[in-house]
Chain A
Amino acid sequence: MARVRTGVRAMGAVLATVLAASLAGCSSTGGKRAEERAAQQAAEGRSAVNTPRWTFAMVTHSGDGDTFWDIVQKGAQQAARKDNINFLYSHNDEGQQQAELVQTAIDKKVDGLIVSLAKPDSMKTVVAKAVKAGIPVITVNSGSAESKAFGALTHIGQDESIAGEAVGDELNTRKRKKVLCVLHEQGNVGHEQRCAGAKKTFGGTMQNLYVDGTNMPDVQASIEAKLDSDRSIDAVVTLGAPFAAAAVKAKKTAGSKAEIDTFDLNASVATGLQDKTLGFAVDQQPYLQGYEAVDLLWLYRYNQNVLGGGLPVLTGPQVITRDDADALAEYTNRGTR
């Protein structure tokens, strides 16, 4: 018993210390309060329509704790609030598991389904099942080639090959000679297409480097080793915003002169563009992908409208350089760009 009592006492002491420390010093800038102020100033989230409360499910191939998909979700939730939608989100980065999650949404008899097709073959059967059950399906982010064949209403996203080509063009404008394309998700067809697209339009040589995206130190070490072993690399292209930061660190430790460019955007990329540690970013506007997916499903339910005329609705690529970064910084801090 005595030992238990000391445990409780120690806990009490720790709690008291934490409380005291938090009361002792207040910051006049940033932090939770600034966030709350910003939230108050933002628009109130009230429904703007009087349609019934439909349930839409979104099932993506995201891993746990992914920045990009968090922004997609924010967009979707904003549209769901506006359109009076009960919005369900689930994700798994294994094809089979993702298919099972779609199956659970079908079991729940949802009124609309949003899926990402990074692994189209795993999703084929289950999406067909949803279509057969009369659930309108919209595909987002990846799978523009398969979307129509699977029976989806429309696809919202960026054509990865076109986005890659835009990167190749931009690299040419910046007179780069030897580029490293860093792929952080083994098995993602879209990522392969990005690097292939960039290779297509880029005048110099381009190499692919595979890293384990779930392990940041490993990402940094891999890029560092590559930059160390090949001094002639003058640009590194990462395929996700968090990996740009790792590439910048790797560049520093390797003492390389390479310019770091990236797909996607987040707060630190915006800052990086402002202070020139990054060259440019290619954004596909994830917020728009989530927002439009929910909104288009609502339009289909309400008015049988379908956007895109059988072609994908493109949300990118949007090449962002230092000139645009200032305007975007506020939104990236808010977590919606």
Chain B
Amino acid sequence: MTATGQPAAHTDERLLRTSPLRKLLGRPELGSVVGAVAVFLFFAIVADSFLQASSLGTVLYAASTIGIMAAPVALLMIGGEFDLSAGVMVTSSALISSMFSYQMTANVWVGVFVSLLVTLGFGAFNGFMLTRTKLPSFIITLGTFLMLTGLNLGFTKLISGTVSTRTIGNMEGFESARKVFASYLTIGDVELKVTILWWAALVALATWILIRTRFGNWIFAVGGEADAARAVGVPVIRTRIGLYLGVAFAAWVSGQHLLFSYDVVQSGEGVGNELIYIIAAVIGGCLITGGYGSAIGSAVGAIIFGMTSKGIVYAEWNPDWFKFFLGAMLLLATLLNAWVRKRAEATK
């Protein structure tokens, strides 16, 4: 291509101006937005108490507890990796925080920061193991998941003598930490939990990283084709470790929320949630194979999950069928997602 005397139609296709509508249609999260509207309308029709303001507050809270984790998990999946330890890492983070504060009789904030360091350590461990051993992340994080599950139970029993932690509600710093991680704002009869703020902030941050920073480009490159990315000078190892640190940070936020809302942590919880985070990211338009997706999509996925899981209760359906409906909803949402994406790409 030479620039002299070429008509405009032959300029580089990447520099072509696309209409805003075209741009919108090409977004990964478009399908999930359509799915979310469909799920919302469905429950608005079948469950009369679903549309109350207080119910929507409950749904948003449920979505935020998933969404906080789904955002970094989406980034990780765009980077082409999995993290199966994300669910129990939340519980680990809460346990560490609580037990450190209690055993050291320290200000609660000390425990909170020790927990941040240790949880980031778990994330770094995942990242290092992955880049060192060259094993698939599915295997590495499956190992971490099992080890953390065992550590949670073993250490709690060893230190506290029971399977749950001791109360730290009467210790210094608890009230201020509760304000940060687990307070809520009541407007009328709607309760808006602070996790919704954390969630919005994390999604905004993740989106900014993806779209506006060099690191974001690296994520897409590493997830799309790691060898090619390495060849053009993308620091693949650093990018991957960074992504795992991101998941660990979110696990710390979620863990602190658990601790400060309930004051006591059960050591056996969190198992199975990692799949929910992955599902939320996938509904939001992330490809299982990496290289494609968005953080906003993960938030929409979390909203779909929150609406479905609570909507089934508001609709007064028999809970025996709960998981079946959940699975069917998720499949439908994802199918719709794929269909919308195909249409969007066909019109390009």
Using a CB–CB distance below 8 Å, which chain A residues touch chain B?
64, 88-91, 94-96, 99-101, 103-104, 106-109, 119, 121-122, 124-125, 185-189, 192, 210
A19 to B163, CA, bound (A): 51
B267 with A186: CB separation less than 8 A: yes
B65 with A96: CB separation less than 8 A: yes
Q: Beyond the given A101-B313, A103-B58, please list 17 additional residue pairs across the A-B interface where CB-CB is below 8 A.
A: A64-B323, A94-B269, A95-B269, A96-B261, A96-B262, A99-B262, A104-B313, A107-B55, A107-B58, A107-B314, A119-B266, A121-B264, A125-B262, A186-B267, A187-B269, A189-B163, A189-B164
Question: Inside 8 A of B164's CB, which chain A residues have their CB?
Answer: 119, 121, 187, 189
A106 to B55, CA, bound (A): 9
B266 with A187: CB separation less than 8 A: yes
A-B contacts, 24 listed (Cβ < 8 Å): A64-B323, A88-B316, A94-B269, A96-B262, A96-B269, A100-B62, A103-B58, A104-B58, A106-B54, A108-B49, A109-B49, A119-B266, A121-B167, A121-B262, A121-B264, A122-B264, A124-B263, A125-B261, A185-B268, A186-B163, A188-B163, A189-B164, A192-B162, A210-B153
B103 within 8 A of A: no
Question: Inside 8 A of A189's CB, which chain B residues have their CB?
Answer: 162-164
| B61: nearest chain-A partner, CB-CB | A100
- A62 vs chain B, min Cβ distance (A): 10
Question: Inside 8 A of A125's CB, which chain B residues have their CB?
Answer: 261-262
Using a CB–CB distance below 8 Å, which chain B residues touch chain A?
49, 52, 54-55, 58, 61-62, 65, 153, 162-164, 167, 258, 261-264, 266-270, 310, 313-314, 316, 318-319, 323
Question: Inside 8 A of B58's CB, which chain A residues have their CB?
Answer: 100, 103-104, 107
A101 to B258, CA, bound (A): 16
B314 with A104: CB separation less than 8 A: yes
- A60 vs chain B, min Cβ distance (A): 10
| B182: nearest chain-A partner, CB-CB | A125
- B314 vs chain A, min Cβ distance (A): 6
A104 with B310: CB separation less than 8 A: yes
| A100: nearest chain-B partner, CB-CB | B62
Question: Inside 8 A of B49's CB, which chain A residues have their CB?
Answer: 107-109
Question: Inside 8 A of A122's CB, which chain B residues have their CB?
Answer: 262, 264, 266
- A328 vs chain B, min Cβ distance (A): 26
A120 to B61, CA, bound (A): 20
A124 with B316: CB separation less than 8 A: no
B310 with A186: CB separation less than 8 A: no
A96 to B264, CA, bound (A): 11
- A314 vs chain B, min Cβ distance (A): 24
A300 to B162, CA, bound (A): 37
A90 to B164, CA, bound (A): 24
B153 with A186: CB separation less than 8 A: yes
| B270: nearest chain-A partner, CB-CB | A94
Question: Inside 8 A of A89's CB, which chain B residues have their CB?
Answer: 318-319
Question: Inside 8 A of B258's CB, which chain A residues have their CB?
Answer: 96
Which residue, A88, A121, A188, has most C-beta atoms of chain B within 10 A? Answer: A121
